[in-house]
Structure 1
Amino acid sequence: MNRWRQRFFADGLDGLRNGATGRRRRLCRDKLSTFLLALVETSPRDWNYQRSRWSSELMAKVIHDHARDFIHPSTIRRLLREFGIVYRRACPTLCIKAPDKEQKLADIAEALKHASTTHPVLFVDEADIDLNPRIGADWMRRGAQKRVPTPGQNRKHYVAGALCATTGKVTVRYGDSKCSGLFIDLLKALKRRYREAERITLVLDNYIIHKSRETCAWLARHPQFVCLFQPAYHPWVNRIERLWKAMHDTVTRNHQHRSLANLLVAVKRFLRTASPFPGGRHAMAKV
């Protein structure tokens, strides 16, 4: 009786008429996959909702409103996995055009094409080593969050590195400040390591120590070094960023070292086992 009352209050006399018998028609799988794939490429704002990200409940509602088919949110989540759609962190991107982007990318591609023993190409960058651990995901019991002790007052150290594009060999130097001196120490190490090279091409970002007066003066005295600056806001062009990510994932994330000296020992051990990179040895290396 309550069901009939609800139908009458919702739709009047039309609600009392019998609808179609049998199970409701469902969207065919191909049409549903096409609809979902198109849906995730948009934002809920495009459909006049206030949310900025999709939820399975909101997807189910949009499907019901536009395709007249009811699908439970749990079914939506299962289908998304089947269609290869995953829930993950978005990538921040600045809506700023990098000057000379195409030309810089073309120069880097040309250098990589002709890389050799006498003309090595190296990806160069610096990374911060913090005593305060970077917090990351880990396995733990449900409802029992792991505790990572922190020293409270942070201390920092820095590592400058160069990754050879052809061999994967890593050259590093360490310092207590990220200054031109640290970068020049790395250049001196590269000069010794690649003493047979006629030209050494460096792919690096636009950080100030790469263009300082001290650095430019040193480079002027060593014309075998050629600097190719990557486009602004394009860190993924520099392959050594993957090495720094692996270092943080393996060593500095959730670390429990009480002193910076012990942490640096672990970092140096990692960089020794990671060369040549990528090689995969660092992931299973023992202490």
Structure 2
Amino acid sequence: MLRSASQIRLLAARAAAVRRRPRSLGLPFSLWTLQRLVDYLAEQTGIRIALETLRQVLKGEGIVLSRPQHKISSPDPEYQVKKKAVEDTRDHLKPGDVCYYAYEFNLSWLPTLKALWSPVGQQVMIPTPGQPRKHYGLGAVNYPTGETVVLFKRHKRRREVAELLHAWVDKHPTGTIYVAWDNADTHQDDEIEAIVRGAAGRLVLLYLPT
């Protein structure tokens, strides 16, 4: 419990840690909460205080912990137009039509290495399963049904993207196939356009905003 003005000043000074990212202080989380800050201050000062007391200490320093809000922003001047086009398409499908959201990702057996605490002069060795083989994944989710389609390839090329489009056309022999994806170079070239033309209007590509 707090017993003196000097303890309050000490806590106020240490509470300024809330202005720093927790991980920069060696803590295993990215965002502060009152409880986390109480625990941190108890370790640093030996003084454990109630949550409301800490709230008042922070308020005295001009700091208020509040819940952040997610905000969608984009530099694309046509953001609203493209967004509406995708949403109107997916929400007004005709019987037999499908709408996929597509994306790509990399899969590697090589663990990601970051800074670790270790004895001075010693290097931590991380065991790995041999050579760091990488695979390229092309995935998509059927918006109305939730069904997923994923292809794993050894390369990230237009040819593999074309294979995914062919797979959709073969999977849905009737109806229109709408594909919403980003503006990657592999999504916009002559080979892709040839597949769209070959589908005779049954394959429609919708490009997401930047």
Letter of the 1:155 counterpart: R
Letter of the 2:106 counterpart: D
Q: TM-score, normalised by structure 1?
A: 0.44
The 8 Å contact of residues 109 and 133 in structure 2, kept in 1 or not, is answered as yes
Alignment partners' CA distance in 2, 1:190 and 1:117: 17
Letter of the 1:105 counterpart: K
Q: Deviations over 1:150-178 (max 9, x none)?
A: 35753211111121000011112221111
Q: TM-score, normalised by structure 2?
A: 0.59
Equivalent residue runs for 1:122-271 within 5 Å = 122-134=100-112, 149-151=127-129, 154-197=132-175, 199-222=176-199, 223-232=201-210
CA RMSD of aligned residues (A): 4.2
Alignment partners' CA distance in 2, 1:77 and 1:151: 49
**Using a 3 Å threshold, how does the CA distance of structure 1 residues 226 and 177 change in structure 2: closer, same or farther?**
same
User: As a proportion of its length, which structure holds more helix?
Assistant: 1
Q: Deviations over 1:44-76 (max 9, x none)?
A: 9xxxxxxxx9897xx9xxxxxxxxxxxx68543
Alignment partners' CA distance in 1, 2:55 and 2:149: 45
For structure 1, list consecutive stretches of 5 or more residues without a partner in the other structure.
1-39, 45-52, 60-71, 137-146, 233-287
Letter of the 1:166 counterpart: P
The 8 Å contact of residues 101 and 141 in structure 2, kept in 1 or not, is answered as yes
Which is greater in Rg? 1
Residues matched between the structures, number: 154
- SS of the equivalent of 1:109 reads helix
Equivalent residue runs for 1:80-91 within 5 Å = 85=66
Alignment partners' CA distance in 2, 1:200 and 1:109: 15
**Using a 3 Å threshold, how does the CA distance of structure 1 residues 208 and 149 change in structure 2: closer, same or farther?**
same
